[in-house]
Amino acid sequence: MDKQQWTAVEDYFVSTVVGRDEALDAAAADAQRAGMPAIAVPPNHGKFLQLLALMQGAQRILEVGTLGGLSAIWMARALPDNGRLVTLEYNEAYADVARTSIARAGLADRIEVRVGAALETLPVLAREGAGPFDLAFLDADKENNPAYFEWALEMARPGSVIVVDNVVRGGRVLEADSDDAMVQGVRRLHTMVAAEPRVRATSLQTVDSKEYDGFLMAYVDKSA
């Protein structure tokens, strides 16, 4: 089993149950043209996030890490007309490309892209009373995962779901002495979530065109 097979299986799933979306294909092409790294969610993972948003009956969604807007578009497709998704992005040029793709997808009235370091924009959102968010997707610099999780929890309600992407690090999540700040961010996240009485959580390993990866999912089940 290797990347070629995982990609072929992913393509099969995309061509059957996931389905294609012209606006998402265009967003992916624009992201590539703009020189963004190929680190957006694969389509079947994007659809998974969309289903989660639907199951949540989500009206407010928080995302940390916009890139070209792919995961934001996937999730916002689950929102009702009055629903809102706020996505936080550090890179202004990426945010511009994402906004164009979001507008082309017909979601400009539902998605707000905020530029800045998320450690600065998250407290602003909290002060504004932007929550509670029914779903949060944390997918930016993994070093800051613990702080992002704390902010997501701060702006959650009982019943909210928080997903943290890319927690496997090619298996290096096992390396307690790693000098990779992203690995340490993911490890601190797991230690913190394990000790957090307000959530029930699990982490899943995945394989697809992005190779070996995974995500953590937490359900907020006590008054946050």
Ligand X SMILES: C[S@@+](CC[C@H](N)C(=O)[O-])C[C@H]1O[C@@H](n2cnc3c(N)ncnc32)[C@H](O)[C@@H]1O
Question: Which residues form the interface with ligand X (CB under 6 A)?
Answer: 39-41, 65-67, 70-71, 88-91, 94, 117-118, 139-141
User: Cβ closer to ligand X: 120 or 221?
Assistant: 120
How far apart (Å, rounded) are the C-alpha atoms in residues 10 and 4?
10
Give contact residues for Mg ion (rule: CB under 5 A). 139, 165-166
User: Cβ closer to Mg ion: 63 or 165?
Assistant: 165
From Mg ion, ligand X, none, which one binds at residue 94 (CB under 5 to 8 Å depending on kind)?
Answer: ligand X
User: Cβ closer to ligand X: 11 or 143?
Assistant: 143
**Amino acid present at 35:** G
User: Cβ closer to Mg ion: 35 or 37?
Assistant: 37
The residue among 46, 48, 47, 118 whose CA lies nearest residue 89 is: 118
Question: CB 40 → Mg ion: shortest distance, Å?
Answer: 7
Q: In what order do the strands lie in the sheet with 60-64?
A: 111-115, 84-89, 60-64, 135-138, 161-165, 211-220, 199-208
Question: CB 177 → ligand X: shortest distance, Å?
Answer: 25
From Mg ion, ligand X, none, which one binds at residue 133 (CB under 5 to 8 Å depending on kind)?
Answer: none
Q: Are strands 211-220 and 111-115 parallel, antiparallel or unpaired?
A: unpaired
From Mg ion, ligand X, none, which one binds at residue 156 (CB under 5 to 8 Å depending on kind)?
Answer: none
* Residue nearest Mg ion, Cβ-based: 165
Question: CB 204 → ligand X: shortest distance, Å?
Answer: 16
Cβ atoms of 140 and 134 closer than 8 Å? no
From Mg ion, ligand X, none, which one binds at residue 40 (CB under 5 to 8 Å depending on kind)?
Answer: ligand X
Question: CB 140 → ligand X: shortest distance, Å?
Answer: 4
Q: Nearest 10 degrees: CA dihedral of 176, 65, 139, 219?
A: 120
Cβ atoms of 183 and 155 closer than 8 Å? no
User: Cβ closer to ligand X: 66 or 160?
Assistant: 66
Q: Is 206 helix (H, G, I), strand (E, B) or coil?
A: strand
From ligand X, Mg ion, none, which one binds at residue 140 (CB under 5 to 8 Å depending on kind)?
Answer: ligand X
DSSP code for 66: -
How far apart (Å, rounded) are the C-alpha atoms in residues 97 and 36?
10
User: Cβ closer to ligand X: 91 or 100?
Assistant: 91
From Mg ion, ligand X, none, which one binds at residue 145 (CB under 5 to 8 Å depending on kind)?
Answer: none
Q: Is 168 helix (H, G, I), strand (E, B) or coil?
A: coil
